[in-house]
A = this chain, B = another copy of it.
């Protein structure tokens, strides 16, 4: 029943324009060695017939697929923080690829075996390159791909030894800025609720806090959470108990800051009057807390774009810096 929309081919256009297939190909691909008159004729035929090149045929001979993969390995999407960052990242990547005329293939592994399928797929060069996001732990896949000459860029400094190029945000710098802000506001006893110490973000944010505090000859007061609200609440209670004289806390994620805010409210401490609070991430909900949360913003869309741009360079064989670190910025609202 289907109308069998016979798509026009190069051949068809060639016949209509009264030239050879090769000439049409030249025109379509913008080769300079075509007489203006003939080019016009061909373009008209292309327009009239609604010709669009067959992607598969082109890929078959050029060996380029004109598409890039964005990979989220292994149930990454479970974590709320990933979910929050996901849209921005995709948007950034998407913008950049679109500008380059490339397609985005999204791959989310949901199980161990799909992880293997992904590996196969990428190794088989079904895409021209891959970006890997939300790397938890030390996934060997990026290195494997690199060894097989598949261009790959990862999001976030890889843990362990790795020579894969990456793009990250300046977690340490952001944390330092947050602490500096607290110091500037005259706070003297500044604690932190750190993130898990097996994740780069957790490690770097704590390091930034420590460095800045050390620089100003104050002692650090540390509790560790796991980036969830509950853990933030518990950590805050602990801190209050350990050191009731606190007048500020830098919390390594907005979600934990939310928990901290609640613990503080329950303890009857006013924010920011009694205790100043700074978060990290600038999640949407940071604007909806009471008081609104001062926090560190990551340039998430820019991160996506940079990821894509680096991959593009890699694919075209340009030299790239292995590490690219994007600046974070302190968003001052009401909580500090």
Q: Which residues of A contact B (CB under 8 A)?
A: 2-3, 5, 7, 52-57, 59-60, 65, 67, 70, 77, 80, 82-84, 86-88, 90-91, 94-95, 98, 103-108, 110, 114, 117, 120-121, 123-126, 148-149, 229, 258, 262, 284-285, 288, 290
Q: Say yes or no: A288 contacts B83, CB within 8 Å.
A: no
Which residue of B is nearest A259, CB measured?
A: B288
A94-B108 CB under 8 A given contacts A60-B57, A126-B55: yes
Q: Which residues of B contact A57 (CB under 8 A)?
A: 56, 60
Q: Which residues of B contact A120 (CB under 8 A)?
A: 52
- CB-contact partner of A105 in B54, B56, B86, B104, under 8 A: B104
Q: Which residues of B contact A53 (CB under 8 A)?
A: 124
A60-B54 CB under 8 A given contacts A105-B67, A285-B284: yes
A91-B67 CB under 8 A given contacts A3-B149, A124-B7, A124-B52: no
Q: Which residues of B contact A98 (CB under 8 A)?
A: 108, 110, 114, 117
Q: Say yes or no: B86 contacts A108, CB within 8 Å.
A: no
Cα A57 to Cα B60 with chains together (Å): 6
Cα A59 to Cα B65 with chains together (Å): 12
Q: Which residues of B contact A59 (CB under 8 A)?
A: 55-56
Q: Which residues of B contact A90 (CB under 8 A)?
A: 86, 106, 108
- Known contacts A52-B124, A56-B57; can you find 19 more A-B pairs with CB under 8 A? A5-B148, A53-B124, A56-B65, A60-B60, A82-B87, A86-B86, A86-B87, A94-B107, A94-B108, A94-B110, A103-B107, A103-B126, A104-B105, A104-B107, A105-B105, A106-B106, A229-B288, A284-B285, A285-B285
- CB-contact partner of A149 in B5, B56, B124, B125, under 8 A: B5
Q: How far is the CB of A312 from chain B (nearest CB, A)?
A: 17
Q: Say yes or no: A106 contacts B124, CB within 8 Å.
A: no
Q: Which residues of B contact A7 (CB under 8 A)?
A: 124-125
A sample of 24 cross-chain residue pairs with beta-carbon separation below 8 angstroms, ordered by A number, consists of: A2-B149, A5-B148, A5-B149, A7-B125, A52-B120, A54-B124, A55-B56, A56-B56, A56-B60, A56-B65, A70-B106, A77-B87, A84-B284, A86-B90, A90-B106, A90-B108, A94-B107, A95-B108, A98-B108, A98-B110, A98-B114, A103-B105, A103-B107, A285-B288
